[in-house]
Amino acid sequence: MGGDIREQTANIREKVGKIAKIYHELLFLSGENGMRELEKLNKESYELVRGECKNGAELVGTEERELAETCTDWERCLAIGLKNEKVRAKISKFYMDASEERYRYVAEKIDETLKDGENGILFFGERHWIQFPEEIEVFNVYPPALDDIHRWLRDRLI
C-alpha cells in the first residue's frame, strides 16, 4: 500500500510542483522531533515523509495534543457499544464538538503555515472534517484498493 501512495504522491508532485509542507494526523511536533514521533506512529508514513523532506519539504506539527486526545477518548467511548440512547447521544455530542474543534485547529495550522504559492501534503484519514479555504485546491489520494471500493459504492448509489 505504501508504494501505491508513494506513486500517487509522485504523480501529484509532477503536476503541481515541489512540496513545501507536510501535515500528518496525530503529529504534534515539527521537524526532526516530528520525524522521530512519526517513525513511532506509522513506519510507512515515516518512509514517505522522510523522502519528501529529503527533497526539501518541511514537516509541520499539525495537531494540538489535548484536542486530539480528547477526540480519541470520546471516540473510544462510542466504540464500546453504549446501550442507553441518552448516554450515547451525549457522548456523541461531546465527540462531535471535540472533532469540530480539533479539525478547526488543523485548518488554522495549515492556513498559518502554508504560504501562497506553496504546495502541501496532508496525511489524514478519509473521514476528517477539515474545512479548507476556497483558494486551496485539494487532491485526495487513496490506495488503489480503497479507490476501487469508493468507485464501486458510488456506482451503486447513483
pLDDT in tens, the chain (158 residues): 456 667 767 777 777 788 899 999 999 999 999 999 999 998 988 998 998 899 899 999 999 999 999 999 999 999 998 999 999 999 999 999 999 999 999 999 999 999 988 988 888 876 677 887 777 777 666 555 545 554 655 666 65
pLDDT in tens, 84-119: 999 999 999 999 999 999 999 999 999 999 998 898
Backbone angles phi, psi at 116, to 5 degrees: -55, 135
Characterise 103 by phi-psi region: left (phi > 0), alpha (psi -120 to 50), beta (else): alpha
Domain range annotation of the chain: 2-65+105-157
pTM, entire model: 0.80
Average pLDDT, the chain: 84
Dihedral sign of CA atoms 17, 54, 32, 28 in order: positive
Nearest to 121 by CA among 110, 131, 129, 112: 110
Query: Distance of alpha carbon 21 from its chain centroid, rounded?
Result: 13
Cβ(37)–Cβ(131) under 8 Å? no
β-strand partners of 22: 59, 121
Alpha-carbon span 2 to 44, nearest angstrom: 6
What pLDDT is attached to residue 1? 47
